[in-house]
Amino acid sequence: MTALAKDVSKLTDWYQTTVPASVRKQLKLGKGDQIRYCTEPSGRVYIERVRSDEDYPVLGAFLDYVEADIKAHPDRIRAFDGALHGRLAALVGNVDVNLDAPLSLEDE
């Protein structure tokens, strides 16, 4: 089992704090990013990076469409079979994609 990181930060007089570097790295936070605090009834608090709809404007609409379609037609849901996996793999070949890498200037 992986050990939990136990970083500590201090509250200022204005109840502000600095997010420890290891947490910023883990959550891939940058200047201006937002974080969300999730509190359990037990008192345990989690933080997570907020991904705004501006980051993925089309993705939200697409996921809403998929959700509505699944609810309207649950009988259309099928298991993902190996043949489809093979066809998809053939489309992309051995292309290595890093979704976290920044776009080059020519790709922006």
Q: What is the pLDDT of residues 38-66, one digit of tens each?
A: 999 999 999 998 876 655 667 778 888 99
Confidence class for position 107, pLDDT limits 50, 70, 90: low
CA-CA-CA-CA torsion sign (35, 39, 40, 43): positive
Q: What's the rounded Cα separation, in Å, for the pair 63 and 65?
A: 5
What's residue 55's pLDDT? 58
> Measured between alpha carbons, how far is 46 from 27 in angstroms, rounded to an integer?
12
Q: What is the pLDDT of residue 81?
A: 78
Q: Across residues 96-107, what is the average pLDDT? A: 78
What b/e sequence results for 93-105 when a residue is b if at least 16 CB atoms lie within 10 Å of its CB, and e otherwise?
Answer: eeeeeeeeeeeee
At residue 105, the pLDDT reads: 76
Alpha carbon distance 103, 17 (integer Å): 31
